[in-house]
Amino acid sequence: MKSKILSNILKMLTFPFLCAVGGPFLYTKKKEQAPLKFNKDGKFRILHLTDVHLVHELMEEEQPIEITKQQVADTLNLFEECIKRTKPDLVVFTGDNVSSNYELITYDYAAKTIRRIYNTIGKYNLPLAITFGNHDGERNTHKEFQMRIFMEYENFRGVYNEEEMYGCGNYSLPILSSDGKKTAFNLWMFDSNDYLDGIKGMPYDCVHKSQLDWYKRKSDKLKAENGGKPVYSFAFQHICVPEVHDAFLEVDEKTPGAMKCDDGKYHILPENATGELNESPSPPMVRYDGEFDAFKSQGDVVALFCGHDHVNDFIVEKDGIKLCQTICGGFMTYGWRRGGRLIEIDENNPKEFFTETICIEEREEVDI
């Protein structure tokens, strides 16, 4: 409901402002987009980027924030280097796309920043999908407004919501078989929302029941269209699920490499995990509407890809579902390894997939 109300308000009230900042896209019909489709070799490649925390570099000259033009340039160059290395069929950003947590950020600067993102991806005419993070909607630069700016890009695949539900940017993207005859795979995009009651400083929110109800209905529909078999899928969102702690090994605090996590326990990665656990994951710990159980009951999601925790890039498995973290992709936030993640799906074996961290640069920790 919240998303629908804000969307309607924006349609009614923001036309003069959006035109002033470059908004003739408001009533411009896009060209028909080619469907996402497995290639002739049966492969489909996704570049996952997250936590880029971008700000337009002109903001530094007009407002006192701690960024440099070089950090902006490095972040945009990272996008391009990741694209060149991975040769993706789709680019997915999973939140904290814009550093809306700066006190003086405006709608104008948020719009300019988003255009820097999609113009960089647009150099390669790649399909783009996004979800939002906990920082995107701070300082009242509403996510619905940001989604509208992303929708300027001709090859953008996102929508406000597929139907009325909580949050903004809940939708699915089917990937057709190489012959184009059926949906061979599916991608779920979820808004993991921001803070309880929308108040910064409160515990992190979660994917809400209305979002999960939509997911179950759509998942059942895809299953029915697939002869009663689940359509294997990935889910993308900003904040991970609390079950990630259950996938770790609980250890004594004196164990080498032990990490004290948000569940109050000490953990290390299990032997079958890959990647690194360098900080405690920060999932919702107060309110939780059962997203992971929904994935299990539907039987379609084989992996969940998240960001939020900038220096983690582990993959752990719980109950047959891989929980995958990707390192941050921006230079205006904390972290020391920056890059993205390549994900490659094989049409002939869609339940299994190849993935690797694409580390573009390691540099000294940025203190922000």
**Alpha-carbon span 278 to 258, nearest angstrom:** 10
**Alpha-carbon span 16 to 132, nearest angstrom:** 25
- Which residues lie below 8 Å from residue 296, measured CB to CB, with a gap of 6+? 319, 320, 321
User: Helix or strand or coil: residue 122?
Assistant: helix
Q: Which stretch of 35-39, 140-144, 230-234, 256-260 has the lowest confidence by average pLDDT?
A: 140-144
- Taking only the tens place, the pLDDT of each residue in 320-338 is 999 999 999 999 888 889 9
- Taking only the tens place, the pLDDT of each residue in 172-210 is 999 999 999 999 999 999 999 999 877 777 899 999 999
Q: Give the residue extent of every domain in the chain.
A: 36-362
Question: If we measure between CA atoms, which residue out of 277, 274, 295 comes closest to residue 354?
Answer: 274
- Taking only the tens place, the pLDDT of each residue in 107-165 is 888 999 999 999 999 999 999 999 999 999 887 789 999 999 999 999 999 999 999 99
**Which CATH code fits 36-362?**
3.60.21.10
Where helices occur in the chain by DSSP H, the ranges are: 2-13, 15-20, 59-62, 69-86, 107-122, 143-150, 209-225, 244-247, 291-298
- Which residues lie below 8 Å from residue 317, measured CB to CB, with a gap of 6+? 247, 272, 273, 323
Question: If we measure between CA atoms, which residue out of 91, 48, 98, 50 comes closest to residue 72?
Answer: 98
